[in-house]
Structure 1
Amino acid sequence: MATVYFYEKPGCINNTRQKQMLTAAGHQVIARNLLTEPWQKECLRAFFGSEPVHQWFNYSAPAVKNGALDPNQISEEQALALMLKDPLLIRRPLMQVGDVRVAGFDQHKVHHWIGLTEILGADLESCPRSSEPEPHACLSSATEK
């Protein structure tokens, strides 16, 4: 089974469910606080792969939810700059297994990537809670912090 570095917002109900699903499938989950991680632009960018910029965003983030920020109108550079300042904007969880990094928890994609024992019918990507952002490293695939 895989060792999954799992960047979450502590207290998010869905992040807790996602970690439980990974653990139930036999994966070792190493949880990290997405909000306090000292992100660097290049490292953060690696989690989004070829996904369009608007899919990098957490649509439950206050700035997106209240309409102050439209992810469909943001460039890649703008998105990364905003996310470095306000990590609540980052779609979560961010997960890393070896050199592979992904954003979000599409259950079918996760199952095909590393395996899950069950796929739930519920939306496990939108965290129903919100809180104030905290201050915010990039995990090298070769070294653990």
Structure 2
Amino acid sequence: MSGASGRVLVVDDNRVIRQLIRVNLELEGFEVVTAADGAECLDVVHRVRPDVITLDVVMPRLDGIRTAARLRADPLTSHLPVAIISACTRYEVETGIVAGVDAFLAKPFEPADLVRVVRQLTRRDGPPLDDRYEAGRAGSTPGSARG
């Protein structure tokens, strides 16, 4: 593992959401690197060597689902855990599962849920994320992210 708890590549076109995710993960000991869209993610992933990647779905140039599919198609990144953090439709969740996404967290999310999902993916020893989309669907609090 790279950082104290691992290195996370956070990919979201919204600067505020990227920063919110970064702060919450850094407070828990993760090293965080960010990218503004899927194309930038693919450009930096080999240099950054993350332990986990989080992706928004709707982004310019290359969306999160296609980014996940490309990560899975590349032998150097096919093993990396990928979580979608987005306000997904059921279709996007189903398409994401087919593309090889490991977990889903719906926006708005609770920071504790974000940390739990990233920790489980980093360790790969937590319970399976069968509640993939439902895990983060609970109501929001003032510190929650929206997107």
With the shorter chain as reference, the TM-score category is 0.3 to 0.5
Say which one has the larger Rg. 1
Say which structure is richer in helix: 2
User: What TM-score does the superposition give when structure 1 sets the normalisation length?
Assistant: 0.38
Higher relative contact order (CA 8 A, sep 6+): 1
User: What TM-score does the superposition give when structure 2 sets the normalisation length?
Assistant: 0.38
